[in-house]
Structure 1
Amino acid sequence: MKIKDKKYLKFVHSSISMFILGLASCSVTGQELPKKQLFPKDYNLWGTLQPLRISDGGKWVSYNMHYESQQDTIFVKNSSGTIHYSFPKGSNGHFGGDNIFGCLQSDSSLHLTNLNNGISEIIQNVIRYDFSTNGDYLLTLVSESDNQKQLIIRRDGKIIETISGITNYVWNDKKDSILYATTVGDKSAIGTICISKNLKKRIILENSENSFLQLTWQHNGKSVSFFKAKGTTAHDENQICYYNLASKKLHTLSASTAENFPDNIIIDSGYELPITISDDGSKVFFGIKNHEIQDQKKGIDTVEIWNATDKWLYPVKKKIDDWKHSPKLAVWWPESGAFRQISTIAQPWVMLTGNQEYAIVANPGTYLPQYTFTGDMDYYIINLKNGKQELLLKKQSSESMHMGISPDGRYINYYREGDWWVYDIARKNHTNITQKLRNTWDTTDNDSANAVMVYGNPGWSKDSKNVLLYDAFDLWAISSDGSVSKRLTDGRQRNIRFTIDASEFGNNVLGNYSGRSASSCDLSAKLLIEAFDFYGCSTGYFSWSTPTGLHPLAFNDSSIDKLIKARNSQSFVYQEQTYDRSPKMVIKTSEKARATTLVESNTQQKNYYWGKAEMIHYTNSFNKPLNGALFYPANYDPKIKYPMVVYIYEKVSRNIHSYVNPSLQNVTGFNITNLTTKGYLVLLPDITYESINPGLSATDCVSAAVKTVVDKGLVDPKKIGLAGHSFGGYETNFIITQTDIFAAAVSGSGVSDIISAYFSVGPITGIADIWRYENQQFRMGKSFYDNQEAYYRNSPIVHAAKITTPLLSWTGNKDKIIRWEQSMEFYLALSRLQKKHIMLVYPEMDHVPSDPLQQTDLTKRVEQWFDFFLKNEPASSWITEGFD
């Protein structure tokens, strides 16, 4: 793109590292400067690297450096690393083709830069901008003086089209055409423009006094659909429109004129059930709802009637009102004018098959009360042409990953009783496709007391011949009739888990309402595969193809993620980091090319003492092998035995390669780097669980991990602290009732009484939290009444009298995940028992602090707590008052 109104943007070469502290690497000659200790006053030097994009041809990459001071900057760098551009306070940066870069500034100006020559242009008052697929065209949505918006289309810097009064525009999948709507005065219009090599003239689909909403493209770009409405909410004047671009024919459906439209039902223009067009363009799906006028009176009910025989608890019952007023899905055939309602009050759950010829419906309340988060349902399949409905599955799990659909619409796959099945819609038969394999497809072997969670069904092959499945390690392709099963990776032998990167499934997938979309990938092409090493917790990428199998792209003893591929070349970039090496951005021009570091963040780290990390391996009392991430103090001296902080949740050792910026703004008050630079060891041990013993399992595994480190001679056994948040907070509360190996503990938003928490209602879900305890994270397996002893055995408050560890607990009084009263109950118990305990309650805070001031306060107090009890440092009066 050639840019007019020339304004030169300075070329910035490697010296740009002077603009943002420590961003670019530089060679060090002569004697290395002595290192120094890191203090909180230095924390502001650290920023977070975020890879953003790579240009189509792979010549340029963009990235962001985020700082807690909010002084963010977008950078663009060429693939050889010789040219830099910076855009302070820039946002929403995009490449136009391979040589133009645009980004928005805080003053609503768009900065466009020709990366080849540094010439720039500034366009004012830009609300939104887009480049066409090939980058030849620039679209800017700008504010006009009369509070309206104007869409301006440019090519080679020249304005070639201007549309005033724009209310919205959307691209088709190829991003070479837009559907747009305008309103000028009391007149509205909707039209299309094909933005290709030769810009085609605007086509006005319709003019109206009504506004146009929910502009929607068919996936192949051959038709569009939209609502025509007087306002922006549903009302009885709504119409839905469909326009075929080939025939140039507009079809309109209105509730008042359609022959078989249900009485007292209107077309709903809301987004709960958005418009979609079937892949073949023959059908339009949209929402309809009851015409009854809702009572707008807002007040307190005279009385809430909670009946124990109700299927739903009162909060949910009131909200859904038996689905009487929620939108229901309908389908319309524009060519024939036929209309059919799909979901109903009796069957409000709905998803479509891959070719949208059938719908699957169900009622989530069929088997209530159920004490699982996602209960069982009876699924029915509806032939949309004739409306015939048949039972598909009886009492089948409603877990979203337990059911999928093939792209061609022929099959439905589902998980049941330890096997994967496929239902052939035309033949109406069910086939167990994994019965001949001795694989475990869900997590029950590793975590038998938790809810049944499958390792995964990412989708189907593009030709719908094979279901794609995961076991604990590998990717499998299994034919729809189960006759052919092929393991595509060899993760079990390598102790690596391989999964398909999400980018392989694209983003042009039809939304599927209550269920999953028909995702697929091409097995005849080369696939990008993510890898996770179970032993060392390294992450990275491989490529896979049928001829060659797996080939490593980027996989080291580190964390590698955020891989981005160029659209028109073999180049790709990714981020790599370890705990002691700040994230860097790496580029490869092909799979076999040498990896080149383009950007190193936080190079000022070299001036400070820094810790290191290693993986430890241990076993619990059941001889189960486990990992633990151990972080060493900065400037480690093997002659010294250090204090140690142990942070727990479930599987946390996988964070071993994560670089942690030193910071006072932490959502749990815990920061590994803060602690290691202050002279602490930090341990992140993994926990595995025995059925009905979540607390005892945590105690067993954590104690074993601590003993392993103590036996290495690294830690002062009298100076070990324990910390956890949420479920980790519960584990912390419980562990200190079972052992005195910890000199201090911190529990954030943790459950203290399993029994009272069991008999509570989730503020967000409106359902009984019983499911959390019987078959989810707490893994009790049975109801309280079926095994009361186990509940008492694993409830911290029951054993509170045994506590000798000083405890700091913290919570927010607006916590919607774990009621803050759980912390209060423990506080009252420890207060009554005269234990060493302080509780912090943060006003208006949810499950974690989002306010930087609260984050800072929490971090300081957590570190002060450990400093006092583990390092014998002087403490503030908030700790020492009342303590001997």
Structure 2
Amino acid sequence: MRLPLRSSVTLTLVALFGTAILAGQQAKPTLAPADYGKWESLGAPTLSPDGRWVAYPLSRVDEKNELRLMSLERDTAQVRARGATPFLVTSYATSPAFSADSRWAAWLVGVSAEEREKAEQARKPVRNRLGLLELGTGKTVTVERVAAFRFSPNGRYLAIRGYPAEGKTAADLIVRDLGSGSMTSFGNVTEFAWADTGATVAMTVETEGAAGNGIQLYHPASGVHRVLESGEARYRGLAWRKKSDDLAVLRTATTAGFRDTTHAVLAWSNVRAPNAVKRVLEPDAAGIPAGQRISETPELEWSDDGAMIAFGLRLREAAPDTSKTASKDKLSDVQVWHGADRRIIPMQKAQERTDLRRALLAVWRPATGAVVRIGTDLLGQASLLHGWRYAFERSDTRYPEESMFGRTRYDVDLVNVATGERQRVLERIRYVMGGSPTGRYLLYYRGGQYWTLDVATGAHTNITARLPANFADTTWDTPTDELPPAGFQQVWARDDRWVLLQDNYDIWQVKPDGSGGQRLTEGAADRVTSRVEILDRSEPGVDPAIPVWMSLTGERTKQSGYARIRPGRPAERLVLEDSRDGRLMRADSAEVFLYQRERFDDSPDLFVAGADLGDARAVTTTNAFQGEYAWGRAELVDYVTSAGKDLQGALYYPAGYVAGRTYPMIVNPYEIQSVSLHRYWVPTEQNYYNVQVWTQQGYFVLLPDIVFRAREPGPATVEALEAAVAAVLAKGAVDPKRVGLVGHSWGGYEATYVPTRSRILEAHLRSSPAAKVNELQTPMLMEFGDADGTVDWHQGVEFYNFARRAGKKDFVLLVYPGEDHGLRKKENQADYHRRILQWFGHWLKGEPAPVWMTEGVSWLERKRMLEDAAKK
């Protein structure tokens, strides 16, 4: 819904006349769980290239989701007069896209949650449909059984891929001429990809028996369909070069004695030409080390000039020994945890998928056949600098202890891509930012300063030493031997003339040769932080001749908005409001801007504006029914800890708050949370720590900021919470005997530690273990999933056993089988959500305690409950 944004002056008026306003609100009901279902959440919007249309998903708590497509023109009557539809709603639609000429929109249409569940129970596949709309006429087309679609770069054609048969990977592909409606079909397609320009589609084909496998090309404008190569091998990984007709693909090659698959790389230059030359990098070519294979990951990539193709290498895996002499003993599934492991086994297990995709970077020159290996460490990171003259690889191999315990250091090698020559250019470095758009510089950060390495000359230059700024993040409160940079976003001019760097508040334009720099913003004076918004990622760096856009955040006010820097001019603050603004985007071919705005009492909506953003107008109205219900409000609370830390917290008032009454309060700690002041919380049982639900239940809710001290996170937490709670109690609206605490993960540690050292709480809940149970004087509810991959759930069992031995009768442990660090099953999310409300309802509001709190639930009782529920 759209409510007027209040300025600081209006807040003063609310304080003066609040009684009358709030008295009028009392007649409105608060939310009940039955009301949650209709609540809406705004998804990421898609803007048409001409800026005249927007499509955005709208999801609801009850999963009756829809996609909305609307005209952004002010005069919808003119839109209708042209025969177009200014507003279209499609239930259960996702994945909207516009054609490059902004004449067409397409999306996928799914089914309801109920239909999906029924199909899954019947073991029937769920199939999407395609929706296609001609924006100028309002005419729509529906295509059944569509798995994926993609417009051609020129906007004239649409490729539509169906679903493969059960157990297969190939499916039909249809290329639709959007102007005429004619369609051309191709069978047994496993992959397809449009060329970056024009309209040529490549496809890999896989047939029954493999005899018809191959790679094919289709040019719909001419109707020419060609088979580039065919054979019994499999083809995958289509890769077009940007702005060209050069094409590459992988062809599988099976070799005896190995369980894995290697590949050949096939490359065509100007593939549409009748005399296009095919070049092949065979799996055993010179330059491919013995015992290594050409990997399916990462994706093939062309250099901008078409002279090189990057690919990956992996060590070969020998096939299992199935000979008669092989041992027939059953193999134990023991895990070997070694003290020298750089990554512990649980981490390796969690990163298994990533590890299987790792590869050593290499480069192939099709014209000469030369192969240069860049990567040497599978756990390292190798990257090509723009222009591909040089590459760099960073590796932590020499610093295993630092890697083990989260203080990773790297050595960096510079690699000449033409010769493969390597040179160690950095040692024991932590922050390597990457290369410049021309590939001339490598940017890195050390000791609070930014440096560049000129890769051609080898010169290292401190480019910020003479600037009156501190580029370190001085707010960092995690133990470290080197403060990180204030911002990890460094934005280069496309021609390398400057790089934009950040201190804690401002943006600096710095020359990469160290010859100087200037501050572009003035945020330090009023503590407003500026950060660059990159609106066009099609090319590396930003065009120095056009404006740079920035987001703004008030550190103390929590205001947000946007600013602009035009070449040669000072920064202009265009929007700065008491709201949470985000998702700024610009149309590809028009000066039309779109962004999202929300507040705790104002549901998120989209705003459209011109380049000045001053004429912004709301074009959506989500949760328009919110005004029918009582609502709370949010305000900042300032406090100073006993250690002298000046902090803030976000305080949310109960829905229907009446001045003069006292209320219970729930405190939810973590780290820095006052930034959530203007967040709009959708009420739902799936979010079990839901601020909106708690305020609707009659609680104040406090999200306090906590700043830690090295090796003393617990005492720092106590100091912050005691100061924060005291600041709220001083307002006189919270009953000091009815304050509860709830925390998850790191907040769970805090929520366990504080009650053993402080008496500010009556009840609390947490999700991670700690010690000193014998000092606990507060009723505690603890939750764990027994498959938690972040915190060992046996720590919860230890806490439970200590609590029992210490005679803590008001301690309850909830264990959700098969759940990880966060609950994923909807039934478990809702169950935990309700138990939190019951726990606080009893201890903070005096509601009757349910049996599970007073007596527990036996194994047989719970088993019967589940059995009875399954019969319903």
Q: Distance in 1 between matches of 2:94 and 2:621?
A: 21
From 278, 296, 300, give the equivalent of 1:250.
Answer: 278
The 5-angstrom pairing of residues 762-781 of structure 1 reads none
Relative to 1, partners in 2 of residues 1:442 and 1:81: Cα closer, same or farther, differing over 3 Å?
Answer: farther
From 414, 427, 430, give the equivalent of 2:444.
Answer: 414
For 1:580, give the aligned amino acid: D
Q: Distance in 1 between matches of 2:234 and 2:179?
A: 33
Asked whether the equivalents of residues 254 and 262 of structure 2 are also in contact (C-alpha less than 8 Å), the reply is no
Q: For 1:277-321, what per-residue CA distance to the aligned partner results, in whole angstroms no more than 9, with x for missing partners?
A: 22222111212233451448997558766554666667789999x
Q: Distance in 1 between matches of 2:798 and 2:413?
A: 46
Q: Distance in 1 between matches of 2:179 and 2:408?
A: 57
Q: Distance in 1 between matches of 2:162 and 2:708?
A: 57
Is 1:453 the equivalent of 2:484? yes
The 5-angstrom pairing of residues 265-414 of structure 1 reads 265-268=292-295, 270-271=296-297, 273-295=298-320, 300-301=331-332, 308=339, 327-344=359-376, 349-370=381-402, 371-397=404-430, 399=431, 402-414=432-444
The 5-angstrom pairing of residues 472-491 of structure 1 reads 472-491=504-523
Q: Distance in 2 between matches of 1:848 and 1:236?
A: 37
Asked whether the equivalents of residues 143 and 150 of structure 1 are also in contact (C-alpha less than 8 Å), the reply is no
From 425, 429, 442, give the equivalent of 2:472.
Answer: 442
Asked whether the equivalents of residues 224 and 243 of structure 1 are also in contact (C-alpha less than 8 Å), the reply is yes
Relative to 1, partners in 2 of residues 1:89 and 1:292: Cα closer, same or farther, differing over 3 Å?
Answer: closer
Q: Distance in 2 between matches of 1:325 and 1:571?
A: 40
Which position in structure 2 is the counterpart of 1:213?
236
For 1:705, give the aligned amino acid: A
Q: Distance in 2 between matches of 1:159 and 1:296?
A: 55
Once the two structures are TM-superposed, the CA of residue 158 in structure 1 deviates from its matched residue by: 2.4
Alignment RMSD (CA, Å) = 3.1
Asked whether the equivalents of residues 595 and 607 of structure 2 are also in contact (C-alpha less than 8 Å), the reply is yes
Is 1:653 the equivalent of 2:674? yes
Is 1:139 the equivalent of 2:159? yes
The 5-angstrom pairing of residues 642-681 of structure 1 reads 642-666=663-687, 669-681=688-700
Q: 2:545 is paired with a residue of what secondary structure?
A: coil
Q: For 1:720-765, what per-residue CA distance to the aligned partner results, in whole angstroms no more than 9, with x for missing partners?
A: 11111100000111111111110000102x141xxxxxxxxxxxxx
Once the two structures are TM-superposed, the CA of residue 544 in structure 1 deviates from its matched residue by: 2.4
Q: Distance in 2 between matches of 1:152 and 1:882?
A: 62
The 5-angstrom pairing of residues 235-246 of structure 1 reads 238-245=263-270
Relative to 1, partners in 2 of residues 1:728 and 1:604: Cα closer, same or farther, differing over 3 Å?
Answer: same
Q: Distance in 1 between matches of 2:799 and 2:457?
A: 60
Q: Distance in 2 between matches of 1:442 and 1:204?
A: 57
Once the two structures are TM-superposed, the CA of residue 160 in structure 1 deviates from its matched residue by: 5.7
From 793, 798, 801, give the equivalent of 1:825.
Answer: 798
Which position in structure 2 is the counterpart of 1:38?
31
Asked whether the equivalents of residues 34 and 607 of structure 1 are also in contact (C-alpha less than 8 Å), the reply is no
Q: Distance in 2 between matches of 1:376 and 1:528?
A: 33
Aligned length: 784
Relative to 1, partners in 2 of residues 1:861 and 1:304: Cα closer, same or farther, differing over 3 Å?
Answer: closer
Sequence identity, in percent?
28
Which position in structure 1 is the counterpart of 2:138?
118
Q: For 1:574-595, what per-residue CA distance to the aligned partner results, in whole angstroms no more than 9, with x for missing partners?
A: 2211111111222224425522
Structure 2, gaps ≥5 residues long: 1-23, 77-85, 111-126, 323-328, 858-872
Is 1:726 the equivalent of 2:745? yes
For 1:832, give the aligned amino acid: R
Once the two structures are TM-superposed, the CA of residue 424 in structure 1 deviates from its matched residue by: 1.0
For 1:263, give the aligned amino acid: A
Q: Distance in 1 between matches of 2:30 and 2:261?
A: 69
For 1:158, give the aligned amino acid: G
Q: Distance in 1 between matches of 2:148 and 2:333?
A: 49
Which position in structure 2 is the counterpart of 1:789?
none
Is 1:499 the equivalent of 2:531? yes
Is 1:688 the equivalent of 2:707? yes
The 5-angstrom pairing of residues 72-111 of structure 1 reads 72-79=65-72, 80=74, 82=76, 83-96=86-99, 97-106=101-110, 107-111=127-131
Which position in structure 1 is the counterpart of 2:205?
182
Once the two structures are TM-superposed, the CA of residue 563 in structure 1 deviates from its matched residue by: 2.5
Which position in structure 2 is the counterpart of 1:574?
595
Moved more, 519-528 or 202-211: 202-211
Once the two structures are TM-superposed, the CA of residue 488 in structure 1 deviates from its matched residue by: 2.1
Relative to 1, partners in 2 of residues 1:705 and 1:442: Cα closer, same or farther, differing over 3 Å?
Answer: same
The 5-angstrom pairing of residues 550-561 of structure 1 reads 550-561=571-582
Relative to 1, partners in 2 of residues 1:628 and 1:56: Cα closer, same or farther, differing over 3 Å?
Answer: same
Q: Distance in 1 between matches of 2:438 and 2:818?
A: 50
For 2:841, give the aligned amino acid: D
Q: For 1:650-670, what per-residue CA distance to the aligned partner results, in whole angstroms no more than 9, with x for missing partners?
A: 01111111111111111xx21
For 2:43, give the aligned amino acid: Q
Q: Distance in 2 between matches of 1:848 and 1:449?
A: 26
Relative to 1, partners in 2 of residues 1:300 and 1:465: Cα closer, same or farther, differing over 3 Å?
Answer: farther
Q: Distance in 2 between matches of 1:816 and 1:355?
A: 42
Once the two structures are TM-superposed, the CA of residue 827 in structure 1 deviates from its matched residue by: 1.9
Q: For 1:794-816, what per-residue CA distance to the aligned partner results, in whole angstroms no more than 9, with x for missing partners?
A: xxx1x332221111111111010
For 1:122, give the aligned amino acid: T
Is 1:70 the equivalent of 2:63? yes
Relative to 1, partners in 2 of residues 1:421 and 1:200: Cα closer, same or farther, differing over 3 Å?
Answer: farther
Which position in structure 2 is the counterpart of 1:60?
53
Name the TM-score, length of structure 1 as normaliser.
0.83
Structure 1, gaps ≥5 residues long: 1-30, 509-518, 753-796
Which position in structure 2 is the counterpart of 1:869?
843
Once the two structures are TM-superposed, the CA of residue 632 in structure 1 deviates from its matched residue by: 0.7
Q: 2:206 is paired with a residue of what secondary structure?
A: strand
Q: Distance in 2 between matches of 1:678 and 1:260?
A: 68
Q: 2:742 is paired with a residue of what secondary structure?
A: strand
Q: Distance in 2 between matches of 1:63 and 1:296?
A: 55
Is 1:632 the equivalent of 2:653? yes
Relative to 1, partners in 2 of residues 1:685 and 1:228: Cα closer, same or farther, differing over 3 Å?
Answer: same
Asked whether the equivalents of residues 222 and 281 of structure 1 are also in contact (C-alpha less than 8 Å), the reply is no
Q: 2:647 is paired with a residue of what secondary structure?
A: strand
From 239, 262, 282, give the equivalent of 2:289.
Answer: 262
Is 1:606 the equivalent of 2:627? yes
Moved more, 364-373 or 842-851: 364-373
Asked whether the equivalents of residues 665 and 739 of structure 2 are also in contact (C-alpha less than 8 Å), the reply is yes
Which position in structure 2 is the counterpart of 1:227?
250
Asked whether the equivalents of residues 156 and 178 of structure 2 are also in contact (C-alpha less than 8 Å), the reply is yes
Which position in structure 2 is the counterpart of 1:127?
147
Q: Distance in 2 between matches of 1:263 and 1:670?
A: 55
Q: Distance in 1 between matches of 2:376 and 2:283?
A: 17
Asked whether the equivalents of residues 40 and 60 of structure 2 are also in contact (C-alpha less than 8 Å), the reply is yes
Q: For 1:388-428, what per-residue CA distance to the aligned partner results, in whole angstroms no more than 9, with x for missing partners?
A: 2221111122x5xx331112121111111221111111111
Name the TM-score, length of structure 2 as normaliser.
0.84
Moved more, 532-541 or 139-148: 139-148
Moved more, 306-315 or 360-369: 306-315
Q: For 1:501-539, what per-residue CA distance to the aligned partner results, in whole angstroms no more than 9, with x for missing partners?
A: 2434x156xxxxxxxxxx522232122312221112233
Q: 2:306 is paired with a residue of what secondary structure?
A: coil
Q: Distance in 1 between matches of 2:598 and 2:162?
A: 40
For 2:39, give the aligned amino acid: W
